[in-house]
Every structure is written in C-alpha cells, then in structure tokens.
Amino acid sequence: MMRIITGSAKGKKLSTLEGDATRPTSERIKEAIFSSLQFDIENRIVLDLFAGSGQMGLEALSRGAQSATFIDSAAEAIAVCKENARRTDLFDRSRFLVSDYRNFIRKAAGERKFDLVFIDPPYAMGCCTEAVRRLTEAGLLHKGALVVLESGEEPIDTAALAGFEVQKSAAYGKKTAVHILLYRGEDAE
C-alpha cells in the first residue's frame, strides 16, 4: 500500500495501477529521496515525467511544492494520478497529460520551466540519461533545478550530463539506483 509520508496529505492512501504495467517507487526509496530533498521542495514547480500513480509528484505537493505536472504515456496511469490527486486534495495544483515523454518535452519547449523533476521510467526503457539531456536541450529546467533519476541496470553517466552536479547517488539493493542532480546551467563546467 502506498501513502503520502508527510505534509498536508500525510497518511492518505494512494491507488496504483493493477498488474505489472508500472513499478511504484518503494516506500523505503521514496523516504530516502524526500529526506534528501526536504528543504528544497517548498514553492517548487514539479514535473513527474513517468508519473505512474503520481506518488512522487503528490508527495512533493503535500510538502509544499507550488504545482505539479504529471506525464505518462498510459491513459490508465493518468486516470489513477487524477484519482490520487483528488483523494489527497491536491488536484487544484496539478496538471495531467497523457503523452510520451519525448513528445511532451518537444511540445513544452519554450513554454515552461521546472524546478524539481522526477524521472522514473520503466527500467527496461533505459532512457534516464536521454530524458535529462532532452529536458536540458529544450530549456525546461530553471538554474538550480533538482532532477531525481531512479533507474535499474541502466548505467547513468552523470559526468556526461553537462551543467549538472551530483548531489547524491545511492544504490538500493541490486536493482535500483537513485541519483539526485543539481542543474547549474548549460555554461557550468
């Protein structure tokens, strides 16, 4: 069972998709991520790029983020996100879009910027590095944005991501790695 850990929606239970189509972030990993981010959430504009149930973006909203955009290529996932946003009373600060991440990034270029981004694709996609690169190239990140990558066996070459500084890297068991990156800007060395 998933739930909101703390904030305005503390303890509220979240629904998840039936079957194996999505892999929700475990409570242990979610707690570790938000412990690292705890002082960097308030008033942030959040992007939950592979939203699934929406638990990461909703946790950020519960902790004081200004707004969150939930993107998933599955209409069923976005329906669950909407249900969870209503259940947690966070719907009014949420936007939802059924879209492939590439299409969303291409269409959003020049229209908005984000301060906190969660990238947690299905591990088999192996697209974390590509998604970060596309976000940067499209100009969708404010300087000082935090990007949280959750990946499986995909090697994440953080040194190859220009303009980013690694804030934290951790392995959780044999299957999950989390990297929290700070975007310093394209001209950063």
CB distance 48 to 57 below 8 Å: yes
CB distance 171 to 177 below 8 Å: yes
- Picking from 105-119, 135-149, 155-169, which range would have the lowest pLDDT averaged per residue? 155-169
Higher pLDDT: 166 or 152? It is: 166
Residue 111 has pLDDT above 70, yes or no: yes
- Give CA torsion, residues 74, 78, 80, 82, to 10 deg: -170
What is the pTM for the complete model shown?
A: 0.94
Residue appearing with tokens 């981004």: 117
Give the model's pLDDT for residue 38: 86
What is the set of domains in the chain, with CATH numbers?
Answer: 41-167 (3.40.50.150)
- The whole-angstrom separation of Cα 88 and Cα 111 is 28
Query: SS3 sequence, the chain?
Result: CEECCCCCCCCCEECCCCCCCCCCCCHHHHHHHHHHHCCCCCCCEEEECCCCCCHHHHHHHHCCCCEEEEEECCHHHHHHHHHHHHHCCCHHHEEEEECCHHHHHHHHCCCCCEEEEEECCCHHHCCHHHHHHHHHHCCCEEEEEEEEEEECCCCCCHHHCCCEEEEEEEEECCCEEEEEEEECCCCCC
Per residue in 12-24, pLDDT (tens digit) is 999 998 765 566 7
pLDDT category at 163 given cuts 50, 70, 90 is very high
